[in-house]
Amino acid sequence: MNFLIPSALSALFFIPLYLFLSFHARRTKRSYLLLMTGKRLKKQLPLGSTLMMAGLVLLTLALMRPVSNPRLIEKEQTGRNIVFVIDVSRSMLAQDLIPNRLERARYDILNSLENLSGHRLALVAFAGNPVLKCPLTLDHLYFSQSLSELGTHSVSRGGTNLGDAVRSVIEDLFDQDDRESMDILLITDGEDQDSFPVQSASRAGQEGIRIITIGLGSPDQGTVIPDEENGTLMYGDEPVYSKADMETLSAMAEASDGGWSVPVEDGKIPIQEILNKLERTGTQKNTGTVEEYIYDEQYRWFLIPGLILIVLSFLIENSGWFRRRAI
C-alpha cells in the first residue's frame, strides 16, 4: 500500500494538542472534585480519550490517501494547439504594468497553466526576428521552464516585426498538421516596423488560424523605457516613449479567422479568460496520449473505523455510567 499525500501526516500534530487539552481539563476536574467531595479522579487516561486518539490517527491515514494496485494506462488528450508569440523587444521592459510588461505576461501565463490540460502549447519569442523557444508539446513543465527563461536576450536582433513573427508560425516553425486547430496569442505593445502585420494575419486566417492580440500599455500617453546605462532610453536628448498600437493589433485580429483583440493598459493580463473563450469557441482535436497511473483507493478502510471511534469517544465521555466508573 502506498500513500499519495504523505504530507497529510502533519495532521498528527493535533494528537499531542488534544492530549494536552485533555490532560489540562482532567487535572482541573480532579482538583475541583477533590475540593468539593474529597474524592480523587483516577489518573489513568480515560477510555474516551484513548478512542479519540486512535480515531484521529485513522483519519490522518485516510487523509494521506492510501492506494493499492497501481496500473499504468494511456489516456487520450483533446484540446487545441496554442502558440504564445511574445514580444521581447526593449519596449516590453516599460513599467506601466507591474513589474514590467514582459514579466507581467510571463507571470500571468504561468498562473494559467494548471487549467490547460489537453492543450499543446508552444512558445515563440520575437523582436527583430522570431525564435522558437518551445515546440508544441503536452509537457507543460517544459513549456513553463522555457517561458521562465524568456528575456530581451532571447533573440539576436532588436526591433518589433509583428508580421515576421506571424509568418514564421504559418510558414516555417510548424507543419500543416500542427496548424490545424491552432490559436496564436500575440502579446506585444504593437509598435511594428513595417513588417506587413495585417497581411500576415490575413494569411493566417486563410489557414483557419485565430489570432488573439493582447496589446500591453497605454495607447495615448505612453511610457518611458528603462535603460541600464542612462536609467531611461533616450533618442538624442529626448526620452523614448512606448505606446500600444491597438489600431494595428485590432486589424490583425479581425483579419484572422475569428480572432479578437484585448487591450491591457495596467493591472492583470486576462490570460485565463482568453483561454476559456478559446476552449468554448474552438474545435477540439486529439492532441496525443499521456501515461498516468490509476489506483484502487483504500481510504475508506481508515475513514470509517476512525469516525466510529470518534463517535464512541463522544458517547463514552458523555455517558454517566462511564463517568461514575472513572471516579
> What are the average pLDDT values for consecutive 10-residue runs of the chain, which has 327 residues?
86 74 66 56 63 88 91 82 95 91 95 86 94 93 95 89 93 84 92 89 93 92 79 79 90 92 91 89 74 86 94 77 50
Q: What is the pLDDT of residues 53-81, one digit of tens each?
A: 899 899 999 999 999 998 888 777 788 89
Give tens-digit pLDDT for 188-238. 988 887 889 999 999 999 998 999 999 999 888 778 888 777 788 877 778
Asked if 81 and 208 touch (Cβ cutoff 8 Å), the reply is: no
Cell numbers given for 21: 487539552
Asked whether 225 and 205 are in contact (CB, 8 A), the reply is no
Q: How many Cβ atoms sit within 10 Å of the Cβ of residue 159?
A: 17
- Domain locations along the chain: 2-65+299-325, 75-289
Cα–Cα distances in angstroms (integers) from residue 256 to residues 9, 90, 164, 260, 281, in the given order: 53, 27, 15, 9, 15
Instruction: Tell me the C-alpha distance between 254 and 283, whole Å.
Output: 19
pLDDT of residue 38: 53
Among 86, 68, 201, which residue's Cα sits nearest to residue 151?
A: 86
Q: How far apart are CA 216 and CA 106, in angstroms?
A: 13
Q: Three-class SS of residue 228? A: coil
Task: Give the per-residue pLDDT at 254.
Answer: 95
Contact indicator for 9, 64 with CB cutoff of 8 Å: yes
Helix axes 246-255, 197-206, angle to 10 degrees: 20
- pLDDT-above-70 percentage for the chain: 88
CA dihedral 84, 90, 94, 97 (to 10 degrees): 10
Question: 125 — phi, psi (to 5°)?
Answer: -100, 145
Indicate the CATH number for domain 75-289: 3.40.50.410
What cell does 79 get? Answer: 484540446
- pLDDT number for residue 326: 47
- Whether the model clears a pTM of 0.85, i.e. scores above it, the answer is no
